[in-house]
Structure 1
Amino acid sequence: MGILGDSLNTAVEKTFTQPIPKSAPAQMRYLVKQEKGTRAVAQLLGVSQRTVERYVKGEIVKPRPKLAQRLAGEVRQRWQPRVRDRAKKQAATTGGIIIDTRARFGFTAAPGTTDDARLRRLTLALPPQHAARLFEAQQAGATEQQLQQITAEALGEVYFRDGGRRAQGLDVEFTDIDYLEFDLE
């Protein structure tokens, strides 16, 4: 995933009510319970079924770095799905989402105008409909470029066009992302 997808996931993870299991055996037991068997987990992680069984029993406690990363990622992806869904639904219907970014913003305009692209730091609240578009696109498997375009349209609408009160027809370009963080309201 890219910077936007990871930032959306991080924002949702802040709403978790319980910490994610830390040890490899606990993470493996959680995955076995979620996937309903050691064979499915073994295929998911690319290890043998016997290796999964040894983690579940506690015979192995320290995985190789690549396996540890895959294991943690799979657990994080499946952790507290109802809490995750509730947070996304609230952001998409009533709360909205806060974006804090430093990126290059530019516009389609005549050369030499003040609309030339430049780095800007923005922190603003996006209304629920923009949060809904971002989460729906992410759920549908949108690419990083598509998420970036949706974010650019949202920033153009909320910040640069001020909800339709100024700069009608302005197309915002959102590139060279230096920093980006989402937070749910």
Structure 2
Amino acid sequence: MDATPALSRTTLATMLTQNLESSLQELASLPDEKRRCPLKPSRANPDIIWTPCDHLAHLIGIERYFNRQIEQALAENPSAAPARQANAPTRPREEAMAAVHALNDQWILKHRDKSFDELVAMARETRTETLAWLERTSDAQLELTLPVPWGLATLAEIFALHVRHTEMHLGFIRSGLTAVA
């Protein structure tokens, strides 16, 4: 997936914990009207304009999706020896990502009625689950590869992805709020 150097379980856990708390602090510092301010059109449907709360809901949904993927992979092969898989997605990347973007919109619309506090509780619950999966995953399993919409990724890369993904969406929120200010 990427050239990120191998990260220890402790480093991954620290990154995941600090990332969530700093992100939630940043979003909590915004007035509620800013958290609900339309910022960025959806990639799938430009009529759907994402808000900061939508970005948070999206991050939760993606993290839950990957937790289910990890759970399934480890249930199928609990002693998982690292192995490259030949079953990366067969559809073109653009087609796969278009499907992902459409599912993202479904997810955020389903959770748009949630309060910020409810989203924060969901984010913390999801991150607790992610950290539990990280703890249950052996060092060898961290190198297990899974198919992802854009190719293949190791479990370690998927855990680290949550941090980078959150930072990317916080960047969208920051630039969107600057543009509407």
TM-score range, shorter chain: under 0.3
Who wins on radius of gyration, i.e. which is larger? 1
Structure with higher helix content: 2
**Higher strand proportion, which one?**
1
In the superposition, the TM-score normalised over structure 1's length comes to 0.26
TM-score (norm 2): 0.26
